Amino acid sequence: MPCFAVDDEPLALGLVCAFIEQTPFLRLAGRYASAVAALSALHEQPEVRLLFLDIKMPDLSGIELARVLLGSGQRVIFTTAFNHYALEGFRVDALDYLLKPFNYEEFLRAALKARAYFGAGAGLAPVTPAPAPVPPQDHIYLKVEYQLVRVMLANILYVEGLKDYVKVHLASAARPLLSLTSLRGISEKLPADKFMRIHRSYIVGLDHVAAVGRGTVQVRQQTLPVSDGYREAVDQFFSRWK
């Protein structure tokens, strides 16, 4: 299924393009940094029916482009960092609404929804929810200031939760990354076989745990507390070390 990726942020555009290219039933027919360029390209490639479309862009917003496309046969999946456009997305008949930063699993669910929609209209066989194995996760994307930053999982020592932010402490950097998300939000992105929450304020990378004490976990030179609510799970996991 040919599709366009449209986003004025280069990192976000690259991420969507990479996700499209690793999805077997999608074909990247064009990548554009503006909605105006995408609209012009649609006249040259009328076979493109699906757009992964950012909302907040100069000149012509994603919402405005979606309004132009209403009734044309093209459908959009919005990719945006702003959740307050969800109602507007419903009004322009968007197939789905992906809130940045999103991972491949979330992207695939939205793509499958589009595949089912266009497949049903074209008389194609229905698609099961898992058309191809998902590659092992080896990184996540974090919003740091005004950028999406690719962070390798193997590089994460531990994550420290603050009030509205998290500090991601890395093996390769002296200073942690500061990201506007909650500890719960980042824990949903981290694979459970590689990371463990040990405290309401800490998640540790299991491969970097150097020692386990009575109510503590040591990651490199940093000793982190284990709170009562997580102690049983921590003790059970590290009992394998004995």
* Highest mean pLDDT pick, 82-86, 208-212, 233-237: 208-212
pLDDT at 201: 94
| Whether residue 112 sits in one domain with residue 33 | yes
Answer yes or no: is 129 within a domain.
no
Q: Do 44 and 8 have their domain in common?
A: yes
125 vs 25: CA distance, rounded Å: 13
Distance between CA atoms of 238 and 242, rounded to whole angstroms?
Answer: 8
Which of 62, 90, 121 terminates a domain? The answer is 121
**In this structure, is residue 131 part of a structural domain?**
no
Whether 109 is in a domain gets the answer yes
The CATH number given to whatever domain includes residue 14 is 3.40.50.2300
Task: Report if residue 212 sits inside a domain.
Answer: yes
**CATH code of residue 223:** 2.40.50.1020
Domain span including residue 75: 2-121
Given a cut of 90, whether residue 218 has pLDDT beyond it is yes
Considering the domain architecture, whether residues 162 and 103 belong to the same structural domain is answered as no
Nearest to 170 by CA among 183, 182, 152: 152
Residue 133 maps to a domain: no
Domain co-membership, 108 together with 218: no
Q: Which residue has the higher pLDDT, 192 or 218?
A: 218
DSSP characters for 39-78?
A: HHHHHH-TT--EEEE-S--SSS-HHHHHHHHTTSS-EEEE
Whether the CB-CB separation of 182 and 167 falls below 8 Å is answered with no
CA–CA dist 17, 156 (Å, integer): 25
Contact 51, 62 (CB under 8 A): no
Same domain assignment for residues 95 and 154: no
Same domain, yes or no, for 101 and 206?
A: no
Angle, helix 104-121 to helix 10-21, in steps of 10 degrees: 60
In terms of domains, do 198 and 90 share one?
Answer: no
110 and 221 co-located in one domain? no
**98/148 same-domain check:** no
125 pLDDT band, cuts 50/70/90, is very low
101 located within any domain: yes
Asked if the model's pLDDT at residue 177 lies above 50, the reply is: yes
State yes or no: pLDDT of 86 exceeds 70: no
Helix (H) or strand (E) segment spanning residue 6: strand 2-6
Please give the average per-residue pLDDT across 113-127, as a whole number: 65
- Mark whether 9 and 116 lie in a shared domain: yes
Is residue 130 included in any domain, yes or no? no
Do 59 and 108 fall into the same domain?
yes
Supply the DSSP string of 204-227, one letter for each residue.
EEGGGEEEEETTEEEETTEEEE--
Q: How many domains does the chain have?
A: 2
168, part of any domain: yes
Domain boundary among 121, 151, 176: 121
Say if residue 116 is in the same domain as residue 6: yes
Is the pLDDT at 33 greater than 80? The verdict is yes
